[in-house]
Structure 1
């Protein structure tokens, strides 16, 4: 199976490519320097030459705060880029998997959002990702839409690396405690995505590690596992204002995964433990 992965330079794209190589697939990872997905002609030409059997579209404009001001670039990447790739996939008859986000929901309430709940994004980034979902559904007969949240991987910056960096010279940190979601290791996620894309079980899936926590609880567990003596003060969203509104409730139900016979990912705590050990090993070596 020949699989093209966009966003190869990011955390998830990197892990999808390397997991695919382990499985013996022909993996082609592209970053923005290899393929400008906002250039329709380039996308059609590239896909037509490569003729992949499947496309895992991880590339996205993910700078949530920046998106509020840089609407044009965010739209071009998240909506137009997705449109061009989906159209090209149709021409070469490639399976198409679009990676979406918890930001398509408004974050209200405390119940997990299901795959059939109506999206209602509150920020520009979330809106463009939802528009990307709609583009995929309108252009293709069969598709996979995978909503993920709070990802962390070895290839790139993330909340864990930020916390550990701050811990080098801080003994106390204020971290938001009223936004709840599921931290998700791209190592686990990449394996699930490749399991899914080999099937005909099309549709929308929520894919995160099991369990929920707040950012403050996440930070406390990071420091505990890394052996860092840092006090975490839980603060409200209002005490940490940002340009874009963050959903307070990023809980997502994984019922669709279970119904279709896919094994749920490990708990976020177990996955974080594995990740921290990898990071500490990197530092030592």
Structure 2
């Protein structure tokens, strides 16, 4: 039985350049790299048998991609669309899952404040909406939806009657304004706050390094070394951070932070330095202001 002749391949300069990038590019997928190599070999007039030997591919594989390129060009080297596995869930089941996610659990008699994906999956099975369904499948359905009405945000009602005027002063300082005038080069804005109860811990046993077929080993138990407070000040316009640790928070520790910043240049000789703080007890009241 006669063997079909190999399809002749003639490449344009553009096609050859793109095929070389596919064949020798560092980020090219392996399957595309092999297909590009087959076509490049074929463009040099080599037989399918020789290409198969040099690339380690089956003769039918070489013949397939050579013919695909001869028929469709570069588009012939991409995978054809496949039907894939039939869906396990209907569009109606997915819609019912999303509708359930939009309801508060209390409305359906479930003793929860908010739905989680595992709880939604259990509820869908209990109601007979679906058969066995995993929490990851439910999560994937919800992520793909464009609106996501089940998501929520919390907020805090402002109770300070002077909030607008206080916020206006802070926001003006952040854009280098004070009482309608632009701050000078020798005027600075510092934002400060503190983080309380930072625990110092140490492992009771040393961590074991990873080895062959063995993950790193970290002892679960630890010893407590007390707690510290971290106080930080940030120069808003020059991106400078100043920090210190103290045994506890309070007016005196905060004043130590102020002294740490204000005794350094350029703040020590500045015309004015504005400090932006919250209403915490460490910097509220006449004692803190006079300190």
TM-score if structure 2 supplies the norm length?
0.18
More RCO (CA 8 Å, sep 6+)? 1
Calculate the TM-score normalised by the size of structure 1. Answer: 0.19
